[in-house]
Structure 1
Amino acid sequence: MPNRQSHTLRRGRYSEAGRLYLLTTVTHQRESLFHDFQHARLVIHQLRHCEREHICHSLAWVVMPDPIHWLVELKTEPLGQAMRRFKARSSLSLHNVGLHSQRIWQAGYHDRALRREEDVVRVARYIVANPVRAGLVKSVREYPHWDAVWL
Protein backbone atom coordinates (compact mmCIF):
# COMPACT_ATOMS: atom_id res chain seq x y z
CA MET A 1 0.00 0.00 0.00
CA PRO A 2 1.48 3.40 -0.95
CA ASN A 3 2.29 5.84 1.83
CA ARG A 4 -0.29 8.57 1.34
CA GLN A 5 1.57 10.85 3.73
CA SER A 6 4.99 10.56 2.07
CA HIS A 7 4.91 14.26 1.13
CA THR A 8 5.03 15.11 4.84
CA LEU A 9 8.49 13.54 5.16
CA ARG A 10 10.00 16.63 3.51
CA ARG A 11 8.42 19.07 6.00
CA GLY A 12 10.97 20.91 8.05
CA ARG A 13 13.81 19.99 5.70
CA TYR A 14 15.68 22.58 3.74
CA SER A 15 18.37 22.56 1.14
CA GLU A 16 21.25 24.95 0.84
CA ALA A 17 23.25 26.31 -2.06
CA GLY A 18 26.76 24.92 -2.24
CA ARG A 19 25.87 21.66 -0.48
CA LEU A 20 26.50 18.31 -2.17
CA TYR A 21 23.54 15.94 -2.56
CA LEU A 22 23.27 12.35 -3.70
CA LEU A 23 19.88 12.04 -5.40
CA THR A 24 17.95 9.01 -6.56
CA THR A 25 14.66 9.04 -8.43
CA VAL A 26 12.87 6.15 -10.10
CA THR A 27 10.41 5.71 -12.92
CA HIS A 28 6.73 5.15 -12.26
CA GLN A 29 6.20 1.56 -11.15
CA ARG A 30 9.92 1.03 -11.83
CA GLU A 31 9.24 0.60 -15.53
CA SER A 32 12.48 0.15 -17.50
CA LEU A 33 11.97 3.20 -19.71
CA PHE A 34 15.67 3.89 -20.12
CA HIS A 35 16.57 0.58 -21.74
CA ASP A 36 15.63 2.58 -24.84
CA PHE A 37 18.77 4.49 -25.88
CA GLN A 38 16.86 7.55 -27.12
CA HIS A 39 14.84 7.81 -23.91
CA ALA A 40 18.00 7.65 -21.80
CA ARG A 41 19.70 10.32 -23.91
CA LEU A 42 16.69 12.66 -23.58
CA VAL A 43 16.92 12.38 -19.80
CA ILE A 44 20.67 12.97 -19.91
CA HIS A 45 20.04 16.11 -21.96
CA GLN A 46 17.81 17.37 -19.14
CA LEU A 47 20.44 16.57 -16.49
CA ARG A 48 22.88 18.70 -18.47
CA HIS A 49 20.27 21.40 -18.99
CA CYS A 50 20.02 21.84 -15.20
CA GLU A 51 23.74 22.53 -15.17
CA ARG A 52 23.57 25.00 -18.07
CA GLU A 53 20.90 26.92 -16.13
CA HIS A 54 23.16 27.01 -13.05
CA ILE A 55 20.60 25.12 -10.99
CA CYS A 56 23.30 22.68 -9.95
CA HIS A 57 26.75 21.43 -10.82
CA SER A 58 26.65 17.74 -11.76
CA LEU A 59 29.56 15.80 -10.31
CA ALA A 60 28.42 12.30 -11.32
CA TRP A 61 25.32 10.57 -12.62
CA VAL A 62 24.10 7.31 -14.09
CA VAL A 63 20.84 6.68 -15.92
CA MET A 64 19.83 3.09 -15.26
CA PRO A 65 16.81 1.34 -16.84
CA ASP A 66 14.50 2.63 -14.10
CA PRO A 67 16.38 4.76 -11.54
CA ILE A 68 18.68 7.73 -11.90
CA HIS A 69 21.49 8.37 -9.43
CA TRP A 70 22.85 11.92 -9.47
CA LEU A 71 25.54 13.62 -7.39
CA VAL A 72 25.16 17.40 -7.50
CA GLU A 73 26.33 20.58 -5.90
CA LEU A 74 23.21 22.70 -5.51
CA LYS A 75 23.44 26.22 -6.93
CA THR A 76 20.47 28.58 -7.37
CA GLU A 77 17.26 26.72 -6.51
CA PRO A 78 16.02 24.71 -3.55
CA LEU A 79 16.47 20.98 -4.06
CA GLY A 80 12.74 20.22 -4.31
CA GLN A 81 12.25 22.86 -6.98
CA ALA A 82 15.27 21.65 -8.94
CA MET A 83 13.99 18.07 -8.93
CA ARG A 84 10.48 19.15 -9.93
CA ARG A 85 11.95 21.12 -12.83
CA PHE A 86 14.13 18.19 -13.95
CA LYS A 87 11.25 15.70 -13.75
CA ALA A 88 8.80 18.00 -15.55
CA ARG A 89 11.21 18.76 -18.39
CA SER A 90 12.33 15.17 -18.83
CA SER A 91 8.69 14.00 -18.77
CA LEU A 92 7.81 16.54 -21.46
CA SER A 93 10.76 15.42 -23.60
CA LEU A 94 9.74 11.78 -23.28
CA HIS A 95 6.09 12.52 -24.00
CA ASN A 96 7.19 14.39 -27.13
CA VAL A 97 8.74 11.18 -28.50
CA GLY A 98 5.70 9.02 -27.91
CA LEU A 99 5.25 8.23 -24.23
CA HIS A 100 2.05 10.29 -24.20
CA SER A 101 -0.23 8.40 -21.88
CA GLN A 102 2.42 7.33 -19.42
CA ARG A 103 3.49 8.72 -16.07
CA ILE A 104 7.26 8.88 -16.19
CA TRP A 105 8.38 9.33 -12.58
CA GLN A 106 7.28 8.06 -9.21
CA ALA A 107 6.42 10.85 -6.80
CA GLY A 108 9.27 12.09 -4.67
CA TYR A 109 12.94 11.22 -4.65
CA HIS A 110 15.60 10.20 -2.18
CA ASP A 111 18.30 12.67 -1.20
CA ARG A 112 21.31 12.50 1.04
CA ALA A 113 23.33 15.58 1.89
CA LEU A 114 27.06 14.89 1.87
CA ARG A 115 29.63 16.51 4.10
CA ARG A 116 32.56 18.16 2.36
CA GLU A 117 34.97 15.90 4.21
CA GLU A 118 33.30 12.73 2.89
CA ASP A 119 35.12 10.95 0.11
CA VAL A 120 33.08 12.43 -2.73
CA VAL A 121 35.12 10.62 -5.39
CA ARG A 122 34.27 7.30 -3.70
CA VAL A 123 30.57 8.24 -3.82
CA ALA A 124 30.91 9.14 -7.52
CA ARG A 125 32.55 5.79 -8.25
CA TYR A 126 29.77 4.03 -6.37
CA ILE A 127 27.20 5.84 -8.55
CA VAL A 128 28.78 5.00 -11.89
CA ALA A 129 29.39 1.37 -10.86
CA ASN A 130 25.64 0.76 -10.44
CA PRO A 131 25.25 -0.85 -13.92
CA VAL A 132 28.00 -3.35 -13.03
CA ARG A 133 26.43 -4.21 -9.66
CA ALA A 134 23.04 -4.59 -11.40
CA GLY A 135 24.56 -7.07 -13.85
CA LEU A 136 23.85 -4.92 -16.92
CA VAL A 137 27.51 -4.85 -17.98
CA LYS A 138 30.80 -6.36 -16.86
CA SER A 139 32.65 -3.03 -16.93
CA VAL A 140 31.53 0.57 -16.51
CA ARG A 141 33.23 1.31 -19.84
CA GLU A 142 30.57 -0.79 -21.56
CA TYR A 143 27.69 1.31 -20.21
CA PRO A 144 26.83 4.44 -22.24
CA HIS A 145 24.70 6.44 -19.78
CA TRP A 146 26.98 7.84 -17.08
CA ASP A 147 29.44 10.62 -16.43
CA ALA A 148 31.61 11.92 -13.62
CA VAL A 149 33.90 14.94 -13.44
CA TRP A 150 36.81 12.88 -12.05
CA LEU A 151 36.65 9.74 -14.18
Structure 2
Amino acid sequence: MPRIARVVLPGHPHHIVQRGHNRQMVFAHEDDFARYLDDLRELKNVFDVKVFAFCLMTNHVHLLLAPSSTEGLGKLMKTLAARMTRYRNKLEGRSGTLWESRYKSSVVQSDGYLLACCRYIELNPVRAGMVERVEDYRWSSFGLRLTTNAQDDWLDVHSCYELLGLTQLGRQQAYRAFFEAPVADGELKLIRDALQRGQLTGGKQFAEDVERVLGRRVEYRGRGRPAHDLGN
Protein backbone atom coordinates (compact mmCIF):
# COMPACT_ATOMS: atom_id res chain seq x y z
CA MET A 1 0.00 0.00 0.00
CA PRO A 2 1.55 3.36 -1.02
CA ARG A 3 2.37 5.92 1.64
CA ILE A 4 0.07 8.91 2.02
CA ALA A 5 1.83 12.01 0.69
CA ARG A 6 2.96 14.19 3.56
CA VAL A 7 1.25 17.58 3.72
CA VAL A 8 3.71 20.40 4.48
CA LEU A 9 2.49 23.99 4.47
CA PRO A 10 5.06 26.74 5.02
CA GLY A 11 4.05 29.14 7.77
CA HIS A 12 1.57 26.71 9.36
CA PRO A 13 2.07 24.74 12.59
CA HIS A 14 2.78 21.02 12.19
CA HIS A 15 2.31 18.51 15.00
CA ILE A 16 5.20 16.04 14.73
CA VAL A 17 5.92 12.78 16.52
CA GLN A 18 9.04 10.69 15.96
CA ARG A 19 9.53 7.39 17.77
CA GLY A 20 12.52 5.24 18.50
CA HIS A 21 13.01 2.25 16.21
CA ASN A 22 10.80 -0.59 17.48
CA ARG A 23 9.87 1.83 20.28
CA GLN A 24 13.36 1.51 21.75
CA MET A 25 14.60 4.03 24.30
CA VAL A 26 16.03 7.18 22.76
CA PHE A 27 16.74 9.23 25.88
CA ALA A 28 18.40 7.19 28.62
CA HIS A 29 20.10 9.94 30.62
CA GLU A 30 19.60 13.64 31.30
CA ASP A 31 22.47 14.47 28.96
CA ASP A 32 20.52 12.83 26.11
CA PHE A 33 17.51 15.09 26.63
CA ALA A 34 19.70 18.18 27.00
CA ARG A 35 21.67 17.42 23.84
CA TYR A 36 18.52 17.01 21.74
CA LEU A 37 17.14 20.33 22.97
CA ASP A 38 20.45 22.06 22.31
CA ASP A 39 20.34 20.72 18.76
CA LEU A 40 16.70 21.78 18.34
CA ARG A 41 17.49 25.27 19.57
CA GLU A 42 20.39 25.57 17.13
CA LEU A 43 18.80 23.93 14.08
CA LYS A 44 15.52 25.82 14.23
CA ASN A 45 17.52 28.90 13.27
CA VAL A 46 19.59 27.07 10.67
CA PHE A 47 16.51 25.81 8.82
CA ASP A 48 14.21 28.74 9.74
CA VAL A 49 11.63 26.65 11.58
CA LYS A 50 9.61 28.04 14.48
CA VAL A 51 9.17 25.93 17.61
CA PHE A 52 5.94 26.48 19.53
CA ALA A 53 5.94 23.40 21.80
CA PHE A 54 7.84 20.19 22.50
CA CYS A 55 7.91 17.21 24.82
CA LEU A 56 10.69 14.64 24.93
CA MET A 57 9.57 11.27 26.26
CA THR A 58 11.94 8.35 26.79
CA ASN A 59 11.20 6.68 23.45
CA HIS A 60 9.65 9.42 21.32
CA VAL A 61 9.35 13.16 20.83
CA HIS A 62 6.40 15.49 20.20
CA LEU A 63 7.06 18.80 18.45
CA LEU A 64 4.89 21.67 17.23
CA LEU A 65 6.83 23.32 14.39
CA ALA A 66 6.16 25.91 11.70
CA PRO A 67 8.63 25.79 8.79
CA SER A 68 9.17 28.80 6.54
CA SER A 69 9.67 26.51 3.53
CA THR A 70 8.47 23.10 2.39
CA GLU A 71 11.99 21.67 2.61
CA GLY A 72 12.83 23.16 6.01
CA LEU A 73 10.73 20.76 8.07
CA GLY A 74 12.20 17.61 6.55
CA LYS A 75 15.75 18.93 6.78
CA LEU A 76 15.31 19.84 10.44
CA MET A 77 13.87 16.44 11.37
CA LYS A 78 16.50 14.56 9.36
CA THR A 79 19.38 16.48 10.93
CA LEU A 80 17.97 16.19 14.47
CA ALA A 81 17.58 12.42 14.07
CA ALA A 82 21.03 11.97 12.53
CA ARG A 83 22.78 13.91 15.28
CA MET A 84 21.06 11.97 18.04
CA THR A 85 21.79 8.67 16.30
CA ARG A 86 25.50 9.44 15.96
CA TYR A 87 25.65 10.56 19.58
CA ARG A 88 23.98 7.45 21.02
CA ASN A 89 25.85 5.06 18.71
CA LYS A 90 29.16 6.56 19.76
CA LEU A 91 28.28 6.34 23.45
CA GLU A 92 27.17 2.73 23.18
CA GLY A 93 29.74 1.54 20.65
CA ARG A 94 27.05 0.42 18.25
CA SER A 95 25.77 1.14 14.76
CA GLY A 96 22.39 1.18 13.13
CA THR A 97 19.25 3.25 13.28
CA LEU A 98 17.84 4.87 16.39
CA TRP A 99 14.54 6.18 15.00
CA GLU A 100 11.64 4.94 12.96
CA SER A 101 12.22 5.67 9.29
CA ARG A 102 9.28 8.05 8.94
CA TYR A 103 8.00 10.58 11.44
CA LYS A 104 4.28 11.33 11.70
CA SER A 105 2.92 14.81 11.08
CA SER A 106 -0.33 16.74 10.98
CA VAL A 107 -0.83 20.32 9.83
CA VAL A 108 -2.67 22.22 12.56
CA GLN A 109 -5.26 24.94 12.07
CA SER A 110 -4.15 27.79 14.30
CA ASP A 111 -7.53 29.14 15.39
CA GLY A 112 -9.11 26.84 17.94
CA TYR A 113 -6.54 24.05 17.59
CA LEU A 114 -2.99 25.29 18.13
CA LEU A 115 -3.27 25.83 21.88
CA ALA A 116 -5.10 22.53 22.25
CA CYS A 117 -2.17 20.82 20.53
CA CYS A 118 0.27 22.57 22.87
CA ARG A 119 -1.70 21.21 25.81
CA TYR A 120 -1.83 17.73 24.27
CA ILE A 121 1.94 17.74 23.77
CA GLU A 122 2.95 19.16 27.15
CA LEU A 123 0.55 16.95 29.14
CA ASN A 124 2.08 13.73 27.75
CA PRO A 125 4.12 13.01 30.92
CA VAL A 126 1.04 13.53 33.11
CA ARG A 127 -1.09 11.18 31.01
CA ALA A 128 1.73 8.62 31.12
CA GLY A 129 1.84 8.79 34.94
CA MET A 130 5.43 10.04 35.00
CA VAL A 131 4.57 13.20 36.97
CA GLU A 132 1.49 14.53 38.75
CA ARG A 133 1.77 18.11 37.50
CA VAL A 134 2.80 19.36 34.09
CA GLU A 135 5.36 21.75 35.59
CA ASP A 136 7.17 18.86 37.28
CA TYR A 137 8.48 17.49 33.97
CA ARG A 138 11.74 19.09 32.87
CA TRP A 139 11.78 18.07 29.22
CA SER A 140 8.73 19.82 27.83
CA SER A 141 8.15 23.39 26.68
CA PHE A 142 5.71 24.15 29.51
CA GLY A 143 8.43 25.41 31.85
CA LEU A 144 9.99 27.59 29.16
CA ARG A 145 6.65 29.15 28.32
CA LEU A 146 6.16 30.19 31.94
CA THR A 147 9.73 31.19 32.75
CA THR A 148 10.41 34.66 34.11
CA ASN A 149 13.92 34.66 32.65
CA ALA A 150 13.69 35.95 29.09
CA GLN A 151 17.13 34.53 28.25
CA ASP A 152 15.92 30.98 28.95
CA ASP A 153 12.84 31.22 26.73
CA TRP A 154 13.89 30.38 23.17
CA LEU A 155 10.42 29.26 22.10
CA ASP A 156 8.70 31.14 19.31
CA VAL A 157 5.50 32.99 20.14
CA HIS A 158 2.38 32.43 18.04
CA SER A 159 -0.28 35.10 17.75
CA CYS A 160 -2.77 32.72 19.44
CA TYR A 161 -0.61 32.86 22.55
CA GLU A 162 -0.17 36.62 22.39
CA LEU A 163 -3.95 37.07 22.43
CA LEU A 164 -4.18 35.44 25.87
CA GLY A 165 -3.31 38.65 27.69
CA LEU A 166 -2.00 42.19 27.47
CA THR A 167 1.18 41.41 29.41
CA GLN A 168 3.58 38.50 29.57
CA LEU A 169 2.43 37.71 33.10
CA GLY A 170 -1.20 37.81 32.02
CA ARG A 171 -0.51 35.44 29.13
CA GLN A 172 1.36 33.05 31.39
CA GLN A 173 -1.45 33.02 33.94
CA ALA A 174 -4.05 32.36 31.25
CA TYR A 175 -1.92 29.58 29.77
CA ARG A 176 -1.57 27.89 33.15
CA ALA A 177 -5.32 28.18 33.74
CA PHE A 178 -5.90 26.48 30.39
CA PHE A 179 -4.00 23.43 31.61
CA GLU A 180 -6.00 23.32 34.82
CA ALA A 181 -9.35 23.43 32.98
CA PRO A 182 -11.14 20.23 31.89
CA VAL A 183 -10.24 19.00 28.42
CA ALA A 184 -13.13 19.11 25.94
CA ASP A 185 -14.79 15.81 25.05
CA GLY A 186 -13.06 14.18 22.12
CA GLU A 187 -10.10 16.56 22.05
CA LEU A 188 -7.46 13.93 22.77
CA LYS A 189 -8.87 11.50 20.22
CA LEU A 190 -9.19 14.19 17.58
CA ILE A 191 -5.54 15.25 17.89
CA ARG A 192 -4.22 11.70 18.24
CA ASP A 193 -6.16 10.36 15.25
CA ALA A 194 -5.14 13.25 13.00
CA LEU A 195 -1.50 12.65 13.84
CA GLN A 196 -1.60 8.87 13.44
CA ARG A 197 -3.39 9.09 10.09
CA GLY A 198 -1.46 12.05 8.70
CA GLN A 199 -4.64 14.10 8.47
CA LEU A 200 -5.18 17.80 9.08
CA THR A 201 -6.01 18.91 12.61
CA GLY A 202 -8.71 21.42 11.85
CA GLY A 203 -12.15 22.12 10.51
CA LYS A 204 -13.87 21.69 7.15
CA GLN A 205 -13.16 25.22 5.90
CA PHE A 206 -9.50 24.82 6.77
CA ALA A 207 -9.37 21.57 4.81
CA GLU A 208 -10.99 23.23 1.81
CA ASP A 209 -8.47 26.09 1.97
CA VAL A 210 -5.59 23.62 2.10
CA GLU A 211 -7.00 21.66 -0.83
CA ARG A 212 -7.05 24.82 -2.93
CA VAL A 213 -3.42 25.52 -2.08
CA LEU A 214 -2.26 21.95 -2.78
CA GLY A 215 -4.57 21.25 -5.70
CA ARG A 216 -5.56 17.85 -4.30
CA ARG A 217 -7.91 16.30 -1.77
CA VAL A 218 -6.80 16.10 1.85
CA GLU A 219 -8.32 14.54 4.95
CA TYR A 220 -8.99 16.36 8.18
CA ARG A 221 -10.12 15.66 11.72
CA GLY A 222 -12.64 18.32 12.70
CA ARG A 223 -15.23 16.66 14.92
CA GLY A 224 -14.98 17.37 18.64
CA ARG A 225 -13.53 20.80 17.95
CA PRO A 226 -11.50 22.24 20.85
CA ALA A 227 -12.53 25.51 22.44
CA HIS A 228 -11.61 28.61 20.46
CA ASP A 229 -9.78 30.29 23.31
CA LEU A 230 -8.78 29.87 26.92
CA GLY A 231 -11.74 31.79 28.19
CA ASN A 232 -14.13 28.96 27.27
Q: Within the alignment, does 1:95 sit opposite 2:85 as a pair?
A: no
Letter of the aligned partner of 1:58 in structure 2?
V
Q: Within the alignment, does 1:64 sit opposite 2:23 as a pair?
A: no
In 1, Cα distance between equivalents of 2:132 and 2:46: 35
RMSD: 2.1
In 1, Cα distance between equivalents of 2:108 and 2:93: 35
- Give structure 2 stretches of 5+ with no counterpart: 147-232
Q: Confirm or deny: 8 A CA contact 1:55 1:77 kept in the other structure.
A: no
In 2, Cα distance between equivalents of 1:48 and 1:108: 22
Q: Within the alignment, does 1:15 sit opposite 2:3 as a pair?
A: no
- Taking structure 2 as the reference length, the TM-score comes to 0.56
Q: Give the match for residue 138 of structure 2.
A: 144
Q: Give the match for residue 127 of structure 1.
A: 121
Identity, % of aligned positions: 22
In 1, Cα distance between equivalents of 2:28 and 2:126: 15
Structure index of larger Rg: 2
Give the stretch that moved more between structures: 127-136 or 24-33.
24-33
- Give structure 1 stretches of 5+ with no counterpart: none
More strand by share: 1
CA distances 1:81-104 after superposition (whole Å, capped 9, x unpaired): 332122112222333433533521
Q: Confirm or deny: 8 A CA contact 1:128 1:147 kept in the other structure.
A: yes
Give the stretch that moved more between structures: 138-147 or 91-100.
91-100
The alignment covers a number of residue pairs equal to 144
In 1, Cα distance between equivalents of 2:95 and 2:69: 32
* Closer/same/farther in 2, CA of residues 38 and 150 from structure 1, 3 Å limit: closer
- Taking structure 1 as the reference length, the TM-score comes to 0.82
